[in-house]
């Protein structure tokens, strides 16, 4: 699937897609969202769903896990405009599509 620039308002390099095991295979880091502590957001395509639109996951490097947080990069960009790292509870954006992705995709989390 080819993503449009308007769908990904971040700088990405396809050579940075993870080959696993951590971050998980299919995770593309968005280093410009780095919190400064080694955690950052990235796009994630689960295995077998590479032709679908990616979701946004947060990488927790200390815990060696990915957590789905947004259904697409545009919602992440909106959150970042409200709060510089989307970590403030007041900046949480309602993303009803994320629940659909969790159910449909069966997102594997790395614990």
What is the three-class DSSP state of 84? coil
Structural contact between residues 97 and 71, judged by C-beta atoms closer than 8 angstroms:
yes
Query: Which helix H or strand E contains 98, and what residues bound it?
Result: helix 96-105
Bridge partners (DSSP) of residue 42 are 29, 57
pLDDT tens string 46-60: 878 788 888 889 898
Distance spanning both ends of the chain, measured CA to CA: 28
Q: Is the pLDDT of residue 26 over 60?
A: yes
Is the full-model pTM beyond 0.75? no
pLDDT tens string 88-98: 554 456 676 66
Structural contact between residues 40 and 57, judged by C-beta atoms closer than 8 angstroms:
no
- Which 8-state DSSP code applies to residue 109? P
Structural contact between residues 32 and 11, judged by C-beta atoms closer than 8 angstroms:
yes
Q: Is the pLDDT of residue 64 over 80?
A: yes
Tell me which of 102 and 30 has the higher pLDDT: 30
């Amino acid at each position: 699937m080819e993503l449009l620039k308007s769908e990904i308002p971040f700088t990405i390099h396809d050579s940075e897609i993870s080959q696993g095991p951590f971050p998980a295979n299919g995770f593309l880091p968005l280093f410009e969202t780095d919190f400064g502590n080694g955690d950052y957001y990235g796009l994630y395509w689960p295995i077998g769903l590479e032709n679908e639109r990616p979701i946004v996951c947060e990488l927790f490097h200390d815990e060696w896990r990915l957590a789905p947080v947004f259904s697409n990069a545009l919602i992440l960009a909106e959150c970042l405009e409200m709060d510089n790292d989307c970590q403030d509870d007041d900046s949480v954006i309602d993303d009803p599509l994320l629940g659909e992705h969790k159910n449909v995709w069966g997102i594997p989390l790395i614990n």
